[in-house]
């Protein structure tokens, strides 16, 4: 049997690039080229005149094709959406509740890929909802989102860890899951990105990957080298699917 070679072209059919032999799965090539087409050739691409293109495949797969299925921990996601969706939609420069929900679903997929314990999954779900809570200016980070969330709870702008913990514990109880003071401390460290433990630092890295995926999903440049393993690359496709499944109702105007 002849070898198969694959090349990716842009959407208008030009620019053959990245010829690879059949040793790598087709989908692995597609991960690196969103909205592109894949060409298959039975001969060496070195001699283009003799290279016969036998198929053109649109970059359309299903989540099942890449081994991703929804995580059973979606109850907390639904609880967070019910409690915080309206407030998230009040952000001036924020993509709103749909944005937070997409990040949360990506977290569930990531939890499945990484076999995270339920408590760690809950930690990342909360981080997904709070990391840019009420985002309204460039340079916003997780610590800013946490402060905004605290102001939403307190109304006077005081940073109150006890109030935050009580809110987190009540939210998790509503979702039928436990939450401890130690869990709150870990969440504060992840969001504030300071004095983290080794385990929390690993969670930060995964959260950073989700932020990269979020940037990619909205069409801005992203450094794929920052995604640390094959499982993270699989989320590149899942993120595009989530955008189709949970579209933004509107884009918020930037604050002036």
Q: Which of 103, 86, 98, 3 is nearest to 44 (CA)?
A: 3
109 and 164 housed in the same domain: yes
Tell me if 38 sits within 8 A of 7, measured CB to CB. Answer: yes
97 and 32 housed in the same domain: no
18 and 95 housed in the same domain: no
- With respect to residue 251, please indicate whether it lies within any of the assigned structural domains: no
Top mean-pLDDT range of 18-27, 49-58, 67-76, 225-234: 67-76
- With respect to residue 68, please indicate whether it lies within any of the assigned structural domains: no
94 and 21 housed in the same domain: no
Going by pLDDT thresholds of 50, 70 and 90, the confidence category of residue 29 is low
11 and 96 housed in the same domain: no
- With respect to residue 177, please indicate whether it lies within any of the assigned structural domains: yes
- With respect to residue 253, please indicate whether it lies within any of the assigned structural domains: no
How many separate domains does the chain show?
2
State the average pLDDT over residues 54-78: 71
Helix, strand and coil percent figures for the chain, each rounded to 5: 55, 10, 40
**How many of the other CB atoms lie within 10 Å of CB of 189?**
18
Domain containing residue 18: 5-60
Identify the pLDDT of residue 231.
76
State the average pLDDT over residues 79-108: 83
175 and 211 housed in the same domain: yes
pLDDT, tens digit, 9 for 90 and up, residues 110-132: 888 888 888 899 998 998 888 77
Q: Which of 59, 47, 68 is nearest to 230 (CA)?
A: 68
Higher pLDDT, 232 or 74: 74
152 and 206 housed in the same domain: yes
pLDDT at 196 over 80: no
Among 34, 60, 86, give the residue marking a domain's end: 60
90 and 182 housed in the same domain: yes
Among 60, 85, 106, give the residue marking a domain's end: 60
pLDDT, tens digit, 9 for 90 and up, residues 140-189: 667 777 888 888 888 776 778 898 999 999 999 999 989 999 999 988 88
- With respect to residue 16, please indicate whether it lies within any of the assigned structural domains: yes
15 and 140 housed in the same domain: no
End-to-end CA distance of the chain: give it in Å, rounded. 63
48 and 164 housed in the same domain: no
163 and 236 housed in the same domain: yes
State the average pLDDT over residues 5-30: 62
State the average pLDDT over residues 30-51: 63
94 and 42 housed in the same domain: no
């Amino acid at each position: 049997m002849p070898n198969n070679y694959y090349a990716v072209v842009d959407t208008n059919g030009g620019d053959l690039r990245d010829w690879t032999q059949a040793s790598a799965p087709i989908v692995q090539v597609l991960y690196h080229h969103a909205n592109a087409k894949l060409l298959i050739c039975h001969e060496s691409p070195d001699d283009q005149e003799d290279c016969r293109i036998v198929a053109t495949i649109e970059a359309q797969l299903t989540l099942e094709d890449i081994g991703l299925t929804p995580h059973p921990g979606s109850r907390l996601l639904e609880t967070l959406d019910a409690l915080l969706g309206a407030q998230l939609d009040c952000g001036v420069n924020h993509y709103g509740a749909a944005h937070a929900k997409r990040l949360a679903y990506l977290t569930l997929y990531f939890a499945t890929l990484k076999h995270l314990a339920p408590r760690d999954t809950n930690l990342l779900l909360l981080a997904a909802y709070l990391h840019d809570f009420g985002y309204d200016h460039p340079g916003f980070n997780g610590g800013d989102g946490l402060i905004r969330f605290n102001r939403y709870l307190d109304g006077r702008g005081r940073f109150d860890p006890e109030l935050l913990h009580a809110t987190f514990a009540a939210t998790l109880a509503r979702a039928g899951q436990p939450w401890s003071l130690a869990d709150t401390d870990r969440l504060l460290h992840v969001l504030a990105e300071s004095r983290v433990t080794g385990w929390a630092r690993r969670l930060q890295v995964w959260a950073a990957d989700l932020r990269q995926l979020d940037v990619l999903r909205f069409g801005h440049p992203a450094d794929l080298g920052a995604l640390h393993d094959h499982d993270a690359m699989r989320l590149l496709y899942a993120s595009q699917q989530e955008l189709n499944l949970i579209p933004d109702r509107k884009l918020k105007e930037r604050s002036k």
